[in-house]
Amino acid sequence: MPQTVLLTGGAGYIGSHTYVALAEAGYRPVILDSFVNARDDVPERLARLTGAPVSCHRADIRDATALHRVFAAERIDAVIHFAALKSVGESVARPLDYTETNIGGLMTLLRVMGEAGLHRLVFSSSATVYGAPQTLPIPETAPVGHTNPYGFTKLTCEQILQQLAASDPRWCFGILRYFNPAGAHHSALLGEDPRDTPNNLMPYLARVATGELPALQVFGDDYDTPDGTGLRDYIHVEDLARGHVLSLGALLEQGAGHLVNLGTGQGYSVLEVLRAYSRACGRDLPHVIAPRRPGDVAACYADPSRAADFLGFRACRTLDEMCASSWAWISAART
């Protein structure tokens, strides 16, 4: 009998890729998603990819009654909690919505899980909890902080989980601090295609490549980095998905809670990503140098050694593979 894993936000970008990785690893994933930031056809695409029907509950994570219904209908063994609002800029404009969904949603989920006798959860955290990093590469022991309401919600959620684990040994959490997820599924059936103009580099470049946006604005070329543009740790979303399978295994098989970075350990500059995307789509993508974006840091990349030691996790896909898969996905989505 396969173990059943509830993926809140499972129809979203990272959740949908993790769905496929879990199914391939022999789990039975079940989705709960409000579809506030997901395409309606994702369940159908997941069924095509996995060759099995998809169990998908359209519900809000803040709705305790709906959560109880899902726990009663499915025999859940563990939860991976992706559902959240994730735009830094929007969080500054709408801090209450972010608090309510990200912190309130987690609180409701934990209450219902406790009442259902379920105590294993993997949580989507973010390198944003490191604020402006003082050491590079960044180990999990680095000081944490927040510079915007989104970061506040992720850090607060981590702290809630740590307090709960300390209060009752039955709770066991995998806290995963993602660096910069990028790329798309190799099938070109899943990927990231935001409804509005993208804020993140890779989906923005995808729209420049399709001709929907005229040029990349490079936010600052006067940072203290080799070419003056920002350095980030881009991790292929299929590698990230595998990280969740390993995290879940550690929780279910060893009852071993953990807090780990998921990154490659390698920083790439904005201009390096621009060149890699240009190679992927076969033409030099236009760019202009623009002022620095408020709140950006010069460089942010992971020390990935704890994830390697604890979970046996190593990200293996290259920047070129991230760009090529993103381009294949967006090209397919536009035809």
Query: Under the criterion CB under 6 A, does residue 230 sit at the interface with ligand WQD?
Result: yes
- Single out the segment in contact with ligand NAD by CB under 6 A; choices: 81-89, 110-118, 274-282, 295-303: 81-89
Given the complex with ligand WQD, which of 118 and 218 has the nearer CB atom? 218
Selected binder of ligand NAD within 30, 38, 138, 281 (CB under 6 A): 38
In the beta sheet, which residues pair with residue 124?
176
Start-end of H helices in the chain: 13-24, 42-50, 64-73, 88-93, 95-98, 105-115, 149-167, 201-210, 237-254, 270-281, 305-311, 319-333
Size of the site for ligand NAD (CB under 6 A): 26
String marking each residue 55-84 x if it binds ligand WQD according to CB under 6 A: ------------------------------
Selected binder of ligand NAD within 20, 30, 61, 129 (CB under 6 A): 61
Residue 25 identity (one-letter amino acid)? A
Query: Under the criterion CB under 6 A, does residue 9 sit at the interface with ligand NAD?
Result: yes
User: Least distance (Å) from ligand NAD to the CB of residue 283?
Assistant: 26
Q: Which residues, in sequence order, are CB contacts of 129 under 8 Å at separation 6+?
A: 144, 145, 146, 151, 154, 155, 158, 177
String marking each residue 253-292 x if it binds ligand WQD according to CB under 6 A: -----------------x----------------------
Query: Does residue 124 contact residue 81 with C-beta atoms inside 8 Å?
Result: yes
String marking each residue 101-140 x if it binds ligand NAD according to CB under 6 A: x---x------------------x-x--------------
User: Least distance (Å) from ligand WQD to the CB of residue 214?
Assistant: 12
13, 19, 150, 234: the catalytic one is: 150
Selected binder of ligand WQD within 45, 81, 232, 236 (CB under 6 A): 232
Residue in 250, 266, 249 with CA at minimum distance from that of residue 258: 250
Query: Under the criterion CB under 6 A, does residue 88 sit at the interface with ligand WQD?
Result: yes
Peptide bond into 137 cis (omega under 30): yes
Q: Which two tokens stand for residue 323?
A: 């760009």
Q: Which residues, in sequence order, are CB contacts of 255 under 8 Å at separation 6+?
A: 172
- Single out the segment in contact with ligand NAD by CB under 6 A; choices: 68-76, 79-87, 114-122, 317-325: 79-87
Per DSSP, the residues of 245-301 read HHHHHHHHHH---EEEEES-S--EEHHHHHHHHHHHHTS---EEEEPPPTT--SEE-
Query: Under the criterion CB under 6 A, does residue 310 sit at the interface with ligand WQD?
Result: no
- Whether 234 sits among the annotated catalytic residues: the reply is no
Neighbours of 264 (CB within 10 A): 23
Helix (H) or strand (E) holding 234: strand 234-236
Residue in 20, 328, 18, 45 with CA at minimum distance from that of residue 188: 328
Residue ranges in contact with ligand WQD by CB under 6 A: 86, 88, 126, 128, 180, 199-201, 204, 216-219, 230, 232, 270, 293, 296
- The residues assigned a catalytic role are 150
